[in-house]
């Protein structure tokens, strides 16, 4: 069974880390990740940009609504995610809209990725 581990933390605190503190956290995580990778257990690892870089597509109406900022509702739950290579935010929104037509309702939060390690877990 593959498990997704979704990372939550206070953005205020993480954004206030100095470069040294940030590097130290990444180094400690790197040790754990390497162990997992060696065991063939590690899939993609992703660090997202701050929520200020996010755009949200509400796809419960027609046409769907583009809102600046992160997904902020509490009545819906995180059910899945995609990683898509796009040249611009506009392209990402087009793709999200197409996905939305296939599966209306709810929303997609579109957030640029700042760090990506593809990993390779054997499912």
Residues that bind another protein (CB under 8 A): 10, 12-13, 15-17, 19, 21, 25, 49-53, 55, 66-69, 88-90, 93, 112, 114-115
CB burial of 76-90 (b: ≥16 within 10 Å; e: otherwise) equals eeeeeeeeeeeeeee
Pick the closer one to another protein by CB: 114 or 117: 114
At 19, list the tokens. Answer: 């470069």
Single out the residue of 113, 95, 14 nearest to residue 54, CA to CA: 113
Single out the residue of 61, 69, 62, 71 nearest to residue 108, CA to CA: 71
Pick the closer one to another protein by CB: 27 or 79: 27
Closest distance of CB 17 from another protein, Å: 6
Strands 45-48 and 113-117 turn out to be antiparallel
Pick the closer one to another protein by CB: 15 or 32: 15
Closest distance of CB 87 from another protein, Å: 10
Closest distance of CB 70 from another protein, Å: 8
Closest distance of CB 37 from another protein, Å: 22
Instruction: Say how many Å lie between the first and final Cα of the chain, rounded.
Output: 7
Pick the closer one to another protein by CB: 40 or 81: 81
């Amino acid at each position: 069974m593959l498990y997704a581990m979704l990372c939550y933390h206070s953005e205020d605190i993480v954004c206030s880390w100095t470069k040294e503190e940030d590097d130290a956290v990444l180094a400690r995580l790197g040790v754990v990740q390497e162990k997992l990778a060696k065991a063939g257990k590690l899939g993609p690892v992703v660090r997202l940009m701050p929520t200020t870089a996010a755009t949200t597509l509400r796809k419960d109406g027609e046409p769907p609504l583009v809102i600046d900022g992160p997904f902020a509702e509490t009545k819906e739950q995180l059910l899945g995610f995609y990683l898509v290579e796009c040249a611009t935010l506009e392209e990402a929104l087009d793709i999200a809209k197409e996905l939305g037509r296939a599966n209306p309702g709810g929303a997609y939060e579109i957030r640029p990725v700042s760090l990506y390690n593809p990993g390779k877990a054997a499912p």
